[in-house]
């Protein structure tokens, strides 16, 4: 008596598998969402409030990521200085052609030289700067690496002495050669000029619309670092009004192109520090300097510091470097940016005090050996 039912089902098939899968997926999602609400998410997060409460100005990170140390910190170990004793002979009187650290005692001078070898050329050793001729030839400036290293010593002292507001904004940390080099001859995350990016085009298209590392792999302009970390161009966005009389870039307000460059720089900064826009800005008023966070001032100093490093310390060394160390497109000097030191962290080396053992690198004057141990204990 039920043959008609079987016949009807055979003649009118119904797809029940796909709806079942759909309902199953939705059911699992509902159960998972309910569990997250009731039990809390299994991957705990921590947040850093960067602005007023209720404005959403915070940086959120997984606790597991915060607990994972920067692997390059492992190479840092205590190496305290030797307090000078009265009457000790100085390096400038012992060795030839000591132009920067000549006022150090022999023990401290060689301690700094050994550290520079670990920081910059752990595989090549002393020969990286001094050649294979032996100690009797160490006074010669035969290799470009020695000339550059001398200038980098002066640069490190200048950073520690003149840019305290940026380097030590949160606590005393300082910088050494290791802050950038991390055991490499050439620091990672340096940059070269690579515009124009579209050889067949003229005008604005020639500096954007082709993803490059300098544009953080976006279609934003690839010359933002050149404009703001090398040249002293004004960082700014276009006018808030939809129609403004006058010519953009000439009559008191930024052009769309400058706004895009600014976004390119901000994208680079955020990626370099591993943060988002609210680390420095209130997103309801990016343009209002009265509503920024304290980190905005620190970053502004950092931009000025990087400009000084590039223009006063790196560019003058171009004639010293061999062709293989220059840029592939314009044969320009390697330059630094935020990521050269930060490497994806809010603070380089996650805020490790690297200067405590190295008062010789903290000043262009006489090192303060009396504060070395105190700094290490912080």
Q: Binding site membership: which residues?
A: 113, 126, 129-130, 152, 166, 177, 180-181, 266, 277, 280-281, 338, 341-342
Residue numbers in the known binding site for heme are 113, 126, 129-130, 152, 166, 177, 180-181, 266, 277, 280-281, 338, 341-342
Q: CB 188: neighbour CB atoms within 10 A?
A: 11
Alpha helices in the chain (DSSP H): 3-11, 17-39, 63-67, 91-94, 106-120, 127-130, 144-162, 164-167, 177-181, 224-225, 256-273, 294-308, 338-342, 372-376
What distance in Å separates the CA atoms of residue 250 and residue 234, rounded to the nearest whole number?
A: 12
Cis preceding linkage at 128, omega within 30: no
Token digits for 137?
Answer: 């030839």
Token digits for 292?
Answer: 């920024």
What distance in Å separates the CA atoms of residue 376 and residue 343, rounded to the nearest whole number?
A: 24
The DSSP 8-state label assigned to residue 90 in this structure reads B
Phi, psi of 69 (to 5 degrees): -75, 155
What distance in Å separates the CA atoms of residue 225 and residue 193, rounded to the nearest whole number?
A: 8
What distance in Å separates the CA atoms of residue 137 and residue 141, rounded to the nearest whole number?
A: 9
Residue 52, class by beta-carbon neighbours within 10 Å (0-12 exposed, 13-18 middle, 19+ buried)?
Answer: exposed
Q: First and final CA of the chain: distance in angstroms?
A: 91
């Amino acid at each position: 008596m039920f043959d008609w039912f079987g016949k009807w089902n055979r003649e009118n098939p119904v797809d029940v598998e796909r709806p079942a899968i759909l309902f199953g997926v939705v059911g699992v999602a509902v159960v998972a969402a309910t569990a997250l609400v009731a039990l809390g998410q299994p991957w705990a997060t921590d947040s850093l409030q960067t602005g007023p409460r209720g404005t959403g100005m915070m940086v959120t990170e997984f606790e597991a990521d915060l607990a994972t140390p920067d692997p390059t910190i492992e190479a840092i170990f205590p190496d305290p200085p030797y307090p000078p004793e009265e009457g000790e002979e100085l390096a400038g009187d012992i060795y030839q052609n000591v132009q920067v650290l000549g006022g150090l005692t022999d023990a401290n001078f060689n301690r700094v030289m050994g550290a520079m070898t670990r920081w910059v050329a752990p595989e090549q050793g002393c020969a990286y700067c001094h050649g294979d001729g032996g100690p009797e030839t160490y006074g010669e400036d035969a290799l470009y690496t020695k000339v550059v290293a001398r200038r980098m010593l002066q640069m490190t002292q200048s950073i520690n002495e003149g840019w305290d507001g940026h380097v030590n904004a949160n606590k005393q940390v300082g910088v050494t050669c290791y802050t950038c080099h991390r055991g490499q001859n050439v620091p990672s995350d340096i940059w070269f000029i690579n515009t124009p990016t579209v050889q067949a085009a003229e005008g604005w298209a020639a500096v954007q619309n082709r993803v490059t590392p300098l544009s953080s792999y976006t279609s934003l302009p690839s010359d933002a670092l050149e404009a703001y970390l090398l040249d002293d161009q004004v960082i700014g966005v276009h006018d808030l009004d939809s129609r403004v009389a006058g010519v953009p870039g000439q009559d008191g307000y930024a052009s769309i192109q400058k706004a895009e460059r600014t976004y390119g720089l901000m994208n680079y900064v955020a990626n370099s520090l591993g943060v988002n826009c609210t680390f420095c800005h209130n997103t309801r008023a990016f343009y209002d300097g009265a509503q920024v966070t304290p980190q905005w001032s620190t970053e502004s100093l950092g931009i000025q510091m990087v400009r000084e490093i590039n223009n006063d310390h790196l560019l003058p060394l171009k004639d010293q470097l061999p062709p293989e160390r220059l840029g592939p497109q314009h044969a320009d000097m390697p330059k630094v940016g935020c990521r050269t030191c930060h490497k994806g962290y809010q603070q380089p080396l996650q805020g490790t005090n690297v200067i405590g053992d190295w008062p010789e690198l903290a000043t262009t004057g006489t090192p303060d050996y009396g504060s070395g141990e105190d700094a290490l204990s912080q």
